[in-house]
């Protein structure tokens, strides 16, 4: 399978051993140019996203022809993103060889992130690697999860002949790849009275491969024989789009689609031709929301984050409810005199899923969890669908690299652990278990003890904006 869009390819004639040769002309591959500095050092240039030179982050390439025990320094010299966890020393690319057929993190002691005067004062990511043989070795920004890999896995899931698992073609992409819709539902009918729905999407940004590994863990748990999975299938109907941007994933883009569009800024007015997956998913969500027999409870869009460790949720803000809550105690001593209904219960309910997930997963961070109204997030799936749907909408972010957690000794010491594939998948399972606990809380058979009030999850900018809005609302009522 080739992907000839400007990636380097193996030459027809292999040079003498010890001179590395590079290949990235495969699915999700990305490496645009290689400059040989010496036999032990190479400058590597990331190919920009197709039709959008702004984004140069994802890389995925293979090299071979090294001598045994040869030490090579690779310099990624044209990163477009400067603020990353590399500068904090808690990030590492991944490597896979024939000797070790699973992806591993490059040790932090072999990674350097610095400004280079030799490269026009740009930030450079350098990492060293010692080759065991001349066999091919693959390197990537994070653990890849390709479109072909997903298709093979979905084919295998179909072959298991689960009665509760259904795979449909939602729409084709611009390049005619499948956008799959997965339904997991343990009831006999799609809609049964009070049947509640959970809607999940992932991989709108093609370089954010951790979101696919988490989604893999979610789906594998949901189809398992685990008692909790069986109960989830009975109480919820799951609608899942595991890959929103197959073209971008296949082409090795980081942020954009084939046409250079950030699809997660197109939700307000998607084009059926240019943004078919967003157009179809938005239409489907709206259709379910208008169906009296279907109640969408939660919509979650899965992403990966390069500037923070751990995993965490972003949520929306009910401007009216939260603005009023900010000034309630200050302006009115007696609740009965308050001129608006106070929706404290609804804002607390938004915290249930973050709280429950934090209790089940050591890598979940309540510290990074936020509910915001940022202008730059307008047009995202979470914000747009939060305005249109009568359900809770979240973005689940998970770090490309690592998570901080307190060790089990009880002394409060924090450790930083690299994310590997199994841990991403374990997060998917924990997310499902949190959904089951959420259901029990919704039914009144479980109490969720919140560690913090809702307003503490609002960034300072959001608090300032909401307080300003509250004052305007109070003044309007006083005038009337």
Distance in angstroms (rounded) separating the CA atoms of residues 113 and 82: 10
* CATH code at position 297: 3.40.630.10
Give the closest residue to 120 by CA, choosing from 81, 75, 77, 86: 77
Query: Is 2 within a domain?
Result: no
**Same domain, residue pair 344 and 202:** yes
**Same domain, residue pair 225 and 209:** yes
**Same domain, residue pair 386 and 434:** yes
**Same domain, residue pair 440 and 455:** yes
- In sequence order, what DSSP letters do the residues of 413-430 get, joined into one string? -EEEEE--HHHHHHHHHH
- The domain boundary residue, chosen from 140, 157, 178: 140
Distance in angstroms (rounded) separating the CA atoms of residues 431 and 213: 13
**Same domain, residue pair 261 and 177:** yes
Query: Is 124 within a domain?
Result: yes
177, two tokens: 């790849």
Query: Is 279 within a domain?
Result: yes
Residue 139, classed as helix, strand or coil, is strand
Token pair 């003890």: residue: 449
Point out which residues pair with 463 in neighbouring strands: none
Using left for φ > 0, alpha for ψ between -120 and 50, and beta otherwise, residue 412 falls in: left
Each of the 480 residues of the chain gets a pLDDT tens digit; together they read: 456 678 999 998 989 999 999 999 999 999 999 999 999 999 999 999 999 999 999 999 999 999 999 999 999 999 998 778 998 899 999 999 988 889 999 999 999 999 999 888 999 999 999 999 999 999 999 999 999 999 999 999 999 999 999 999 999 999 999 999 999 999 765 555 567 999 999 999 999 999 999 999 999 999 999 999 999 999 999 999 999 999 999 999 999 999 999 999 999 999 999 999 999 999 999 999 999 889 999 999 999 999 999 999 999 986 555 545 554 545 555 555 444 444 455 678 999 999 999 999 999 999 999 998 777 788 999 999 999 999 999 999 999 999 999 876 667 778 899 999 999 999 999 999 999 999 999 999 999 999 888 888 988 877 776 667 666 666 665 555
Using left for φ > 0, alpha for ψ between -120 and 50, and beta otherwise, residue 225 falls in: alpha
What order of strands is seen across the sheet that includes strand 33-38? 33-38, 41-45, 71-76, 122-130, 111-116
Alpha-carbon separation of residue 327 from 5, 198, 372, 468, 477 (angstroms): 56, 34, 18, 10, 14
Which domain, by its residues, includes 297? 147-472
Cβ burial 122-154 (10 Å sphere, 16+ → b, else e): ebbbbbbbebeebebbbbbbbbbbbbebbeebb
Distance in angstroms (rounded) separating the CA atoms of residues 471 and 456: 20
Q: How many structural domains does the chain have?
A: 2
314 neighbors 394 (Cβ within 8 angstroms) = yes
First CA to last CA across the chain, in angstroms?
69
**Same domain, residue pair 249 and 379:** yes
DSSP class of 40: T
Query: Is 98 within a domain?
Result: yes
pTM above 0.85, yes or no: yes
**Same domain, residue pair 251 and 305:** yes
**Same domain, residue pair 274 and 235:** yes
**Same domain, residue pair 120 and 243:** no
Quote the pLDDT of residue 101: 86
Of the residues 62, 208, 397, 425, only one is catalytic, namely 397
- The domain boundary residue, chosen from 122, 140, 158: 140
Query: Is 15 within a domain?
Result: no
Query: Is 241 within a domain?
Result: yes
Pairing of strands 196-202, 236-241: parallel
* CATH code at position 104: 2.60.40.3120
Query: Is 367 within a domain?
Result: yes
Quote the pLDDT of residue 347: 72
131 neighbors 68 (Cβ within 8 angstroms) = yes
- The domain boundary residue, chosen from 140, 156, 185: 140
Q: For residue 410, how many C-alpha atoms fall within 13 Å in the half-sphere facing its CB?
A: 0
Quote the pLDDT of residue 479: 55
Query: Is 16 within a domain?
Result: no
Quote the pLDDT of residue 188: 64
Helical pair 147-159 and 209-222, crossing angle rounded to 10 deg? 0
- In sequence order, what DSSP letters do the residues of 155-210 get, joined into one string? HHHHHTT-TTEEEEEEEE-TT--EEEEEEEE-SSSS--TT-EEEEEEE-SSTT-HH
Q: Is 397 annotated as catalytic?
A: yes
**Same domain, residue pair 264 and 375:** yes
**Same domain, residue pair 123 and 218:** no
Token pair 């199994």: residue: 422
Which residues in 232-310 belong to E strands, given as ranges?
Answer: 236-241, 295-305
**Same domain, residue pair 376 and 253:** yes
């Amino acid at each position: 399978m080739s992907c000839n869009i400007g990636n380097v390819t193996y030459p027809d004639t292999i040079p003498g051993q010890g001179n590395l040769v590079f290949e990235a002309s495969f699915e999700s591959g990305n490496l645009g140019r290689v400059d040989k500095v010496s036999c032990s050092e190479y400058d590597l240039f990331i190919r920009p996203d197709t039709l959008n030179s702004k984004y140069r982050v994802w890389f995925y390439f293979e090299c071979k022809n090294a001598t045994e025990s040869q030490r090579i320094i690779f310099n990624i010299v044209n990163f477009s993103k400067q603020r990353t966890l590399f500068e904090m020393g808690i990030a590492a690319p991944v490597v896979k060889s024939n000797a070790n057929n699973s992806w591993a993190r490059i040790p932090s002691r072999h990674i350097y992130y610095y400004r280079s005067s030799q490269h026009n004062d740009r930030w450079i990511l350098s990492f060293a690697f010692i080759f065991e043989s001349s066999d091919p070795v693959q390197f990537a920004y994070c653990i890849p999860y390709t479109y072909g890999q997903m298709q093979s896995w979905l084919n295998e899931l179909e072959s298991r002949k689960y009665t509760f698992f259904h795979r449909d073609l939602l729409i084709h992409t611009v390049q005619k790849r499948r956008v799959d819709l997965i339904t997991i539902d343990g009831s006999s009918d799609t809609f049964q009275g009070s049947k509640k729905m959970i809607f999940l999407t992932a991989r709108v940004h093609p370089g954010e491969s951790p979101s696919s590994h988490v989604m893999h863990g979610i789906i594998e748990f949901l189809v398992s024989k685990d008692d909790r999975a069986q109960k989830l299938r009975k109480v919820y109907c799951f609608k899942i789009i595991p890959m929103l941007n197959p073209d971008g994933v296949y082409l090795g883009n980081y942020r954009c689609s084939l046409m250079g569009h950030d699809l997660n800024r197109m939700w307000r007015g998607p084009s059926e031709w240019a943004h078919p997956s967003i157009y179809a998913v938005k239409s489907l969500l709206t259709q379910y929301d208008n169906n009296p027999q279907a109640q969408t409870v939660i919509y979650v869009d899965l992403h990966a984050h390069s500037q923070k460790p751990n995993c965490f949720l972003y949520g929306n803000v009910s401007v009216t409810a939260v603005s009023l809550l900010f000034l309630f105690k200050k302006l009115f001593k007696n609740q009965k005199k308050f001129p608006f209904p106070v929706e404290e219960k609804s804002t607390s309910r938004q915290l249930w899923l973050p709280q429950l997930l934090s209790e089940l997963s050591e890598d979940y961070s309540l510290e990074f969890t936020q509910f915001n109204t940022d202008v730059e997030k307008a047009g995202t799936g979470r914000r747009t669908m939060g305005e249109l749907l009568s359900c809770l909408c979240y973005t689940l972010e998970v770090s490309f690299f690592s998570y901080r957690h307190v060790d089990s000794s009880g002394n409060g010491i924090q450790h930083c652990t690299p994310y590997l594939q199994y841990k991403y998948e374990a997060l998917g399972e924990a997310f499902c278990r949190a959904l089951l606990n959420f259901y029990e809380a919704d039914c009144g058979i479980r109490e969720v003890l919140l560690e913090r009030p809702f307003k503490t999850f609002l960034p300072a900018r959001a608090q300032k904006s909401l307080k300003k809005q509250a004052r305007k609302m109070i003044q309007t009522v006083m005038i009337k």
